[in-house]
Amino acid sequence: MNYIKFAGPIIDDAMAEAVKQTLLSGWLTSGPRVAEFEAALSKYHGGRPTRVFTSATAAMEVAFEVCGIGAGDEVITSAMTFFSVGNMIEKVGAKTVFVDCDLTTRNINLDQVERAITPNTKAIVPTHFSGLPCDMDRLYAIANKHKLRVIEDAALAIGSTWRGLPVGAFGDIATFSFHPNKNMTTIEGGAAIFGDEREAQRAEIHRFHGISRLADGTRDITVAGGKFNMSDVSARLGLDQLAHLDEWCAHRQKLAAHYFAELESIAESLGLGLPAKAYTGGERGHSWNMFCVLLPLAKMSITRKQFIDAMHKENIGIGVSYEAMHLTTLFRGKARGHHEGEFAHAERISRETVTLPLHAGVTLADVERVCNALVRLLRESAK
């Protein structure tokens, strides 16, 4: 019985050959392939200025720096997101202000965002959870009203759309991840898409030591930059991956629909929490990077870890997405003062969530096998 990975990229022979030829070209670090990849990403996102990085985390750090966010500033984000968001807010010296998320969409609670704004607030960082865009109209209405920057954590949302436009093709700044568990990969890597070419140029300086080149060919340092430039090898893989992105997202949508077809009619009786499925007006185009469910642990005689181990014995990979960020050691107790009971939805998700296999290599038969094992284990473990 084959092992069904919960995430994983598709890399075919043509892609491997393209990477090989790049390796043999003699140009390995940032060069012509990086420029070509940035141009292709920009075209995909409506011609907006684009820069690529070693990771989405690096892209987000540079985005904060470009926006001038630092000591004394506050940045609002959801307690239900990946660790990199809070890490980068703290790393640039700003204060992370958490709000809760919606229990079904897992996206940031915009009512709480409005209440959390203070004179020190400089930005909002929403996470498009699992590839489902936030309510972008309301998000930007809030940001524009209070003159705040928006740095979209679109790490999971490459290929997602809002009202027919790709996430990143409008708005302020969006950051994407090309980690192997995303909808497309550059092995490791990320990108930031800007609304302003001048900010994109500043990001380019920040990502490579803060270096500016002078007219006589010498160099100067204008800011304390980092070292976040993508290699040509990664960019070459990214070019071929991007060419397949829409096809792979369409397949993911079929897989998600099949999960709903298999589970929706029995989810309530099992106590299983399914992700959001339908959206008012159909404005949100979901790229389905993940399919996360909530286990009915109160009704189960086994723990989440025991459930995951049992699924692994069935040769089915299971993930956890995500832990509540405000309850990590960095943010709780004496460190930043956060504690259990602050954000009920994020904390429930953190306790009960599991991520089911969903990627371009999964088949409809794989989905059925996952669902059969899931339902059997829930029934066997029912108290």
Any bridge partners for residue 294, and if so which?
273, 353
Place of tokens 């900010």: 199
Pairing of the two strands 74-78 and 121-125: parallel
Catalytic pick among 5, 91, 145, 182 = 182
Q: If DSSP codes are grouped into helix, strand and coil, which group holds residue 69?
A: coil
- CA-CA distance, 58 to 66, in Å (whole number)? 12
Which residues, 6 or more positions from 105, have their beta carbon under 8 angstroms from its beta carbon? 129, 132, 275, 276
Instruction: Decide: residue 85, CB within 10 A, 0-12 exposed, 13-18 middle, 19+ buried.
Output: buried
Q: Give, as one character, the DSSP assignment of residue 101.
A: B
Q: Give the tokens for residue 220.
A: 């100067």
- Residue 91 annotated as catalytic: no
Phi, psi of 313 (to 5 degrees): -65, -25
C-beta separation of 15 from 236 below 8 A: no
Place of tokens 């092992």: 3
- CA-CA distance, 125 to 208, in Å (whole number)? 24
C-beta separation of 239 from 178 below 8 A: no
Place of tokens 């298999």: 262
- Annotated catalytic residues are 182
